[in-house]
Structure 1
């Protein structure tokens, strides 16, 4: 494999301010600067160009896994994380590197105008280097985006399973959407912890907002009810609409001793009755 020439480094190091300006112009034309402040963009391009030239000056080679590229890799990882937080796509993040190609290629073409074979070698080396840096950036971006998505999913799960205190000793958990294994686990943990924290005797799970109840959903509900009873509390499932009741009958699902009510109001009325509380209208 051909090595980078000293004259290549000199060509790339010349007129760095002009290189940065052209690079930024390429980024702006491609739309890769969305939500990025101009001052931040200028600082990022200047820093990466400086790191790139510094690594090449130290003869770090073009294998970016080598220790000579540690600072550059760390910079690209920070850049990828920030782009993921800004909601950029992976191709926009990668274009931060690819946009530099055209600018550097033009410099090399001018430097090796009369040496076509050497020009081809040096272009290939720089192209391989920038491609490797871009792939590292994409890989880091994907991991960052996956971490963001996972955190958002966890936050949504927490928000979608609010435990509400309806009365002293009575908790309610209104559910909206599909009840899958992950959400069922979150529901169980949230409700059990709330029972411990409040010392409640009765928990109401309201499934009015659950679109369908199949065998899997029924199993999740029964597991949650069993866990609640093991904690010494009782459980009532409310929001059983006619369609859900028919589905349960057609599927032949055995809900055991599970107590169900048509509405949350009915479930609360039953819960209060079990606690010996009577509610009446003021005269």
Structure 2
């Protein structure tokens, strides 16, 4: 590190120590001037500002090169990442998030101007601040994108779970009415939901109804086979219902062997078969017809 750069770094460190609250207030004000930043709570912005400026001060006190300070100094890196994730959860755009970090440049430069009017010193301070906060802006953008991707994936999984409910039809009998296209991800959610429900309700039969599935190909059939095998490993039986004539024809043409799986045309037929598998009284035998009665 050159003597000039070292002196500039020390000057910036001193400015941060002496004018910490002033810089934080100015930075918060600059952020609140941005339209999207108005959605954020001012107290949260002040807390973020205090934490980030404190981390910046501690980082500048060390000997880590400025261009590596943001990624190498743990506290500073954590502050920038947490700020970005907070904005992502609040719905701010990645551009606005990066600009919020970069707006700290103006607050810092204004504070440095109170300590010197020398153009060379101001230029050196501007270069150092740019190198430091450009790295912070890049990190905030990267963190935001990763954070939003995680949020989207979590929301997608939640939607999948909502779209594949496991319904208790009868004592020891569960049903999963499927609607829409089946793929690997959704089938995995179906399998996990069914297996957990079998354990929770001590179910003996699980009905997978595919009446609402528009088409069945080799991949879908394989997914169903995996689910059936997993259900059997849990000690329960599995019935597939809703196989309409076009789907039955497609399965036959593809040469997919479902002979080892109990299949029924309708959900009602599947329920009747499931009740027989659980040795429950059925309509045919004149037994209980009310699920509540069967549960007692």
TM-score (norm 2): 0.76
Structure 1 Cα separation of the partners of residues 253 and 34 of structure 2 = 57
Q: Paired residue for 1:64, among 66, 69, 72?
A: 69
Write the distance in 2 (CA, Å) between the matches of 1:37 and 1:152. 24
| Matching residue of 2:256 | 253
Q: Structure 1: any 5+ residue segments left out of the alignment?
A: none
- Corresponding residue number in structure 1 for 2:281: 277
Match of 1:40 among 40, 44, 58: 44
Separation in 2 of the partners of 1:102 and 1:21? 12
Q: Corresponding residue for 1:77?
A: 81
Per mean C-alpha deviation after superposition, the further-off stretch among 199-208 and 138-147 is 138-147
| CA drift at 1:34 | 4.8
| 3-state secondary structure, aligned to 2:82 | helix
Which segment drifts farther, 169-178 or 107-116?
107-116
Q: In structure 2, what is the Cα distance between the partners aligned to 1:34 and 1:244? A: 54
Contact 1:163–1:172 (Cα < 8 Å) also in 2 = yes
Deviation, 1:105, is 3.6
**Gap change, CA 1:8 and 1:191, over 3 Å in 2:** closer
Structure 2: runs of 5+ lacking an equivalent? 290-296
Question: In the alignment, which residue of structure 2 is the partner of 1:166?
Answer: 169
Match of 2:32 among 6, 15, 28: 28
**CA root-mean-square deviation:** 3.4
Structure 1 CA distance for aligned equivalents of residues 18 and 231 of structure 2: 71
Q: In 2 relative to 1, CA 14–234 (structure 1 residues): closer, same or farther, beyond 3 Å? A: closer
Query: Could you list the per-position Cα deviations for residues 8-67 of structure 1 after superposition, in whole angstroms to 9, with x for gaps in the alignment?
Result: 555666655554444234323333425311122123223323432343355665131687
Distance 1:55 1:40 in 2: 22
Matches within 5 A, 1:127-206: 127-206=130-209
Equivalent-residue separation in structure 1 for 2:11 and 2:239 (angstroms) = 79
Deviation, structure 1 residue 205: 0.4
Deviations 1:204-245 (A, max 9, x none): 101123232211001111222233344443322112234433
- The CA deviation at 1:169 is 2.9
1:197: how far off? 4.5
Q: Distance in 1 between matches of 2:27 and 2:280?
A: 75
How many pairs does the alignment contain?
A: 280
Query: CA, structure 1 residues 196+71, in 2 after alignment: closer, same or farther (shift >3 Å)?
Result: closer
SS of aligned partner of 2:33: helix
- 2:213 is the counterpart of 1:210: yes
Distance in 2 between residues matched to 1:188 and 1:96, nearest whole Å:
44
Task: Give the corresponding residue for 1:101.
Answer: 105
Counterparts of 2:174 and 2:13 in 1: how far apart (Å)? 70
d(CA) in 1 for partners of 2:87, 2:246: 46
Once residues 192 and 37 of structure 2 are traced to their aligned partners in structure 1, the CA distance between those partners, rounded to angstroms, is: 42
SS in structure 1 of the partner of residue 39 of structure 2? coil
